Structure 1
Amino acid sequence: MAISSFMCCCMNMLSCFSNSKGRNRTHAMEIMEEKEWGMVGKRGCQFVVEDKPFFINGFNTYWLMVLSAYERKKEVTKVLHQASSVGLNVCRTWAFYDAGSRALQITPGVYNEKVFEGLDFVLSEAKRFGIRLILSFVNNWNAFGGKAQYVNWGRDAGLSITCDDDFFSDPTIKGYYKAHVKAILNRVNTITNVMYKDDPTIFAWELINEPRCPSDPSGDKLQAWIEEMASYVKSIDPVHLLEIGEEGFYGYSNPDKMLLNPSRCAGEGGTDFIRNHQASGIDFASVHMYPDSWIKQPDSKARLNFGRTWMQSHIDDADNVLGMPVVFGEFGVSRKHEGFSFSFRDTFINMVHQTLLRSTKKGGSGAGSLLWQLFTEGTENMDDGYAVNLAKAPSVSHMLALQSKRLKNLVTKSSRKWFWSGKNKNLLNKFTTNHEEPQK
């Protein structure tokens, strides 16, 4: 997100949040006693772990590293526990904080070990609660530093900089970014003693949160950056999955698709959903969705209709053009926007889940979604309007738990014959390269 919606079942879940010592300890012990996780991979349009499909029902919580580093580990543990209690299996969070009083990266290549140890704790605690992580390398926006901070570092070094979009083209600044990527990938966790690039707790790497390059509406500059950085990440870590972190806006390579964007300017920001995701090294497509902020009129029906169309278009593209899973990496509704209601939030979340299930049940590319965003008691000061505290949102807790159950049952009931039959088998044959042949 640019930092510019049963009751009996729900009450049972809420009671585990507020009075859960025994259950929490048992849950953690069960996870710790499991065999080592397999690394998440992909086959055709679906994610797999040890030859079984893996579907995402997840969430965003961006502040985990910073709070962990500064004596607030209890909030990190609490939000991961609450997420795990409703079956959420993937969390997307920041692996960056560029400059500032609590920075991870103080200056290019210089790190605050205390903050890095905070990220180490997040990884170890996520594994303890059975949650995998998507780690993002940098922000397009100014919050937590972002590309503007990289550009400022370049200016301080005497570079001739014209605008923040030089982040994507200046060789020195690109070198700063690559050095940060290398530092993250090669980091050895001080708690688990596992190098990040070898840790299956990490679901995927993300190049940048919500990239935009409006100085080049053609998209050429951003495309070149994606191709270069994807290749660089894969040269160090060819095993983990990699995504871009895009919002899903269509660009000039598909002018007819641009009509689906929420606004004209969305298509002029230098991103190009289909073209960008055809870059070598990108393993799955990322899409964000905020109809309450993108669709200005406070019309719930119009916002829901946009959301359905937006999702289905990207699922169809992933099925028929890209041949890869698509993850709706951010979706949410803000209490700060005109027309907000808890009822609409519930309806919106249910729409997202149902749209994905229709794809999932037929072996399509709709691989999952991550709610923006989960918070817990004590973190209200960081709330951007989208925060959901599961202990205070029983309807959302119920829906998330129900979606987790549906996806788990789908994996349990699906045999390999089903998994690689029908539509998904055709997609696999169409898009799998020679070195990605399915196991017999």
Structure 2
Amino acid sequence: MSSVSRRGFIGASAIGALALGLNLGRPAHAQGAGFVSRDGAHFKLDGQTYRYVGANIWYGAYIGSAASFGDRTRLVKELDDLKALGVGNLRVLGSSELSPLINSLDPAFSYEPGKYNDDLLTGLDFLLAEMGKRDMKAVLYLTNFWEWSGGMVTYQYWTNGGHYINMNDPAHPWPEFADFSAQFYADGAAKQAYWQYVGMLTNRVNSITGKPYKDDTAIMAWQLCNEPRPGGSDAAVLANADAYYGWIADTAALIRQQAPNHLVSLGHEGLMGANMHEDILIKAHEHIDYLTAHIWPQNWSWVDKDDLAGSFDAGAAKVQAYIDAHIRIARQINKPLVFEEFGFPRDNIAYDPGTPTTFKDRFYSLIYKAVEDAIVSDTPVAGSNFWAWGGAGRALHADHHMLRGETAYVGDPPHEPQGWYSVFNTDTSTQALIRAHAARLKALASA
């Protein structure tokens, strides 16, 4: 663990202030060979339209560490397996905050403002170095609206005298946690601590390659947050909207000033993350390079977990309508669209590798067909990242609950049952769908 000085914090504050004076409306077009850029509603890479098959592997930097909680041999194998499937884009956790929140990660990238975990940072170095060898691109998200990596509530806890609430606390039922988390956008001290981290990471020099992050072609985009909502209740969403827009604009400007070769992403769920307020979703992406949407049929009660067979078709219709709505919005704002999270449970809501994936596979097929059809129709759809690659990870306990400090990472974060949405290295039918989709996208690119 290392720390920065008080002078370092003042410097980060100055960077945050600088962000306020930048031309927030300018588009970010990456320059140079190997960088992904945006040209209207499409990504470009070395002069060609860039579309991709992607995965979420939030724990990449964790197993990339040389410390006891890491497993570099496993990471190399996971990357090789993903590459063999045709996966070329990975969405990865680039920040976590040590927190008193239940089910949050330990270790974490940050122990408190300005005190960072060198073991995890070098784990991220290793991940990016290995991705670069395989011509893979990373999207790094820089904090979390939710509790599992510390996130916005932890930044507030660090700066507000120690106040926080836990997600799913019976004393603070939904949407109290989401409304509390969204207070971050108007919290000056919490935002300065966050901006300090953003400034540190975008200016980092990779300890393995010697390459500054800002010059690394393995990074496609910096993502402000995982699923940043303006609130949970509709009243909070509307009340927080201006502070929310301000945080987005200021942070996007900061990233562009620090890492002008990279794209800026918000990490948004889409309409569900804006309580279906289309105007809020559009305004939130004013200073962002591309639109994202996340699709969670079970979480959103679009399917009945006790009757996946009987409820699948109705849920699928809602999924298609959600996809179509975001394609329409992406056309309207003339920016690329990525379905960067989508997940579905195994049959009978089982969690173990080897249990059937009949409906999971039907859902993946639905998403991949929608992406392929959208590309054939020359819409703004650029690709997708399934949630999530579990690979060789396995739950350690019969209740599939991950205990704090355990390191048998799967695709499901510690607040969820281990195996709920993971694609394991033994899930041959799901992997076949991913591989076939990658082949079709490659064929479309060369057509």
Same fold (TM over 0.5): yes
The 1-side partners of 2:223 and 2:433 are apart by 27
Alignment partner, residue 108 of structure 1: 113
Q: What is the one-letter code of the residue matched to 1:372? A: W
User: In structure 1, what is the Cα distance between the partners aligned to 2:443 and 2:86?
Assistant: 12
Residue identity in the other structure for 1:243:
S
Query: What 5-or-longer segments of structure 1 have no aligned partner?
Result: 1-35, 253-265, 414-440
SS of alignment partner, residue 191 of structure 2: helix
Deviations 1:184-203 (A, max 9, x none): 10010001111111101011
Cα drift, residue 337 of structure 1? 7.1
CA distance in 1, matches of 2:142, 2:279: 18
Q: 1:195 aligns with which of 212, 221, 227?
A: 212
Partner of 2:363: 348
Q: 2 CA distance for matches of 1:330 and 1:163? A: 24
* CA deviation string 1:143-169 (max 9, x = no partner): 1211111001102389xxx94333111
Q: Where do residues 211-230 of structure 1 align in structure 2 (5 Å cutoff)?
A: 211-214=228-231, 216-218=236-238, 219-230=241-252
Query: What is the deviation of 1:291?
Result: 0.9
Question: How far apart are the structure 2 equivalents of 1:358 and 1:109?
Answer: 47
Q: How many Å separate the matches in 1 of 2:135 and 2:34? A: 12
Three-state SS of the structure 1 residue aligned to 2:139 is strand
Structure 2 equivalent of residue 206 of structure 1: 223
2:444 corresponds to = 410
Report the Cα offset of residue 335 of structure 1.
3.3
CA distance in 1, matches of 2:389, 2:161: 37
Deviation per residue, 1:22-65 (Å, 9 max, x gap): xxxxxxxxxxxxxx961011112111111101102000011111
Aligned twin of 1:324:
335
Q: Matched residue pairs, number?
A: 358
The equivalent residue for 2:281 is: 273
Sort the Cα spacing of 1:376 and 1:37 in 2 relative to 1 into closer, same or farther, 3 A: farther
Moved more, 369-378 or 209-218: 209-218
Q: Does the 8 Å contact 2:245/2:284 carry over to 1?
A: yes
Distance in 2, matches of 1:380 and 1:190, equals 32
CA contact under 8 A between 2:302 and 2:318: conserved in structure 1? no
Aligned to 2:36: 40
Task: Name the counterpart of 2:151.
Answer: 146
C-alpha contact 1:211 1:271 (8 A) present in aligned 2:
no
Q: Compared with structure 1, are the counterparts of its residues 292 and 378 closer, same or farther at alpha carbon in structure 2 (3 Å cutoff)?
A: closer
Match of 1:305 among 311, 317, 320: 317
Quick one: distance in 2 between partners of 1:141 and 1:337? 27
State the secondary structure of the residue aligned to 2:155. Answer: helix
Contact conserved, 1:188 with 1:195, CA < 8 A, in 2?
Answer: yes
What is the identity, as a one-letter code, of the residue corresponding to 2:139? Answer: I
Give the 3-state SS of the residue equivalent to 1:216 in structure 2: helix
User: 1:368 is paired with a residue of what secondary structure?
Assistant: strand
1:362 aligns with 2:384: no
1:362 Cα shift? 2.7
What is the alpha-carbon distance in structure 2 between the residues aligned to residue 371 and residue 71 of structure 1? 23
Is the CA contact 1:209–1:246 (under 8 Å) kept in the aligned structure 2?
A: yes
1:323/1:292 Cα in 2 relative to 1: closer, same or farther (>3 Å)?
A: same
Partner of 1:395: 429
TM-score normalised by structure 1 residue count: 0.76
Task: Assess if the C-alpha contact under 8 Å between 1:250 and 1:273 holds in 2.
Answer: no
| Greater percentage in helix | 1
Which residue identity does 1:397 align to in structure 2?
Q
Aligned to 1:165: 182
Separation in structure 2 between the aligned mates of residue 216 and residue 183 of structure 1, nearest angstrom: 31
In 2 relative to 1, CA 409–224 (structure 1 residues): closer, same or farther, beyond 3 Å?
same
Partner deviation per Cα, 1:385-408 (whole Å, 9 max, x = no partner): 10101x311221111111111111
CA gap 1:330/1:378 in 2 versus in 1, 3 angstroms: closer
Whether 2:83 is the aligned partner of 1:84: answer yes
Distance 1:312 1:242, change over 3 A: same
- Runs (4 or more) in structure 1 with deviation over 3 Å come to 335-341, 378-384
User: 1:75·1:376 contact (CA, 8 Å) conserved in 2?
Assistant: no
Q: Using the alignment, how far apart are the partners of 1:337 and 1:373 within structure 2?
A: 19
Shift of 1:96: 0.8
The one-letter code sitting in structure 1 at the alignment partner of 2:441 is L
Paired residue for 1:178, among 178, 195, 205? 195
Percentage of pairs with the same residue = 27
Give the TM-score, by structure 2 length.
0.75
**Structure 2 vs 1, CA of residues 363 and 147 (structure 1 numbering), >3 Å: closer, same or farther?**
same
Counterpart amino acid of residue 374 in structure 2: S
The answer to whether the Cα contact below 8 Å between 2:346 and 2:358 also exists between their aligned partners in 1 is no
Q: 1:378–1:352: structure 2 CA closer, same or farther, 3 Å change rule? A: closer
Distance in 1 between residues matched to 2:214 and 2:208, nearest whole Å: 15
Q: CA deviation at 1:212?
A: 1.9
Unmatched segments (≥5 aa) in structure 2: 1-31, 100-105, 164-178, 305-310, 397-408, 413-419
Distance in 2 between the 1:372 and 1:393 partners? Answer: 14
Contact 1:250 1:274 in 2 (8 A): no
CA distances 1:234-282 after superposition (whole Å, capped 9, x unpaired): 1212221111001002688xxxxxxxxxxxxx348x99322211x22x1
Displacement of 1:129: 2.5
C-alpha distance 71-227 of structure 1, shift in aligned 2 (>3 A): closer
Q: Work out whether residues 347 and 357 of structure 2, in 8 Å CA contact, stay in contact via their aligned partners in 1.
A: no
Amino acid aligned to 1:290: W
Distance 1:271 1:250 in 2: 13
